[in-house]
């Protein structure tokens, strides 16, 4: 049999990365993939606008007047993955390409997810990150970092 097949971690983080490629955000593309205890994918998502909010009618910038930026409008990848879930998430695991913010952390905890596996932690010096870690520790949600490298999928034009 083949020996160089990808691991479960590479597989599910790969799915999260593929999902991130659907993001319209020019700044940061985030993907999340939730699996149950039987290693079945039960939720998937990426950062994007709410249904009905057209991608070309809302701002994608990150500076200036709050209402002229993406921040009040975008749904985070983790929230979309939870909202897209096909089953109860108690005891499930979230693979996410970027460490969750404090707001998504609340949703993660309340949904019953007990483990987070993330790759990037580029906002680790932020207050939001500090708050997220404080809640995760108090709620006994485990988190660990993995690096699976680049997933390449060239756009066909």
Q: How far is the CB of 101 from Zn ion (least distance, A)?
A: 3
Q: What Å distances lie between residue 94 and 4, 29, 57, 86, 115, CA to CA?
A: 25, 17, 31, 14, 6
Please confirm, yes or no, whether 103 is among the known catalytic residues.
no
CB atoms within 10 A of CB 85: 18
Q: Which two tokens stand for residue 12?
A: 């599910």
Place of tokens 């949703």: 107
How would you classify the pairing of strands 41-46 and 31-35?
A: antiparallel
Segment near ligand 5HC (CB under 6 A), from 9-17, 85-93, 98-106, 142-150? 98-106
Does 108 participate in binding ligand 5HC (rule CB under 6 A)?
A: no
* d(C-alpha 11, C-alpha 5), whole Å: 10
Name the residue nearer to ligand 5HC (CB basis): 20 or 35.
20
Looking only at residues 75 through 94 of this chain, which bind ligand 5HC when binding is defined by CB under 6 A?
A: 76-78
**CB under 5 to 8 A by kind: which of ligand 5HC, Zn ion, none does 27 bind?**
ligand 5HC
> What is the binding site for ligand 5HC (CB under 6 A)?
25, 27-28, 30, 47, 62, 70, 74, 76-78, 98, 100-101, 104, 123
């Amino acid at each position: 049999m083949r020996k160089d097949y990808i691991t479960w971690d590479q597989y599910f983080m790969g799915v999260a990365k593929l999902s991130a490629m659907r993001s319209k955000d020019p700044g940061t593309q985030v993907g999340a993939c939730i699996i149950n205890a039987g290693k079945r994918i039960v939720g998937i998502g990426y950062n994007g606008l709410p249904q009905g909010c057209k991608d070309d009618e809302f701002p994608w910038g990150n500076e200036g007047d709050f209402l002229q930026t993406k921040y009040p409008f975008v749904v985070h990848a983790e929230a979309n993955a939870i909202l897209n879930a096909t089953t109860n998430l108690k005891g499930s695991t979230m693979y996410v390409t970027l460490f969750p913010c404090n707001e998504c952390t609340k949703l993660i905890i309340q949904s019953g997810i007990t483990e987070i596996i993330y790759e990037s932690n580029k906002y680790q010096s932020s207050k939001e990150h500090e708050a997220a870690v404080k809640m995760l520790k108090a709620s006994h949600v485990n988190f660990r970092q993995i690096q699976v490298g680049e997933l390449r999928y060239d756009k066909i034009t």
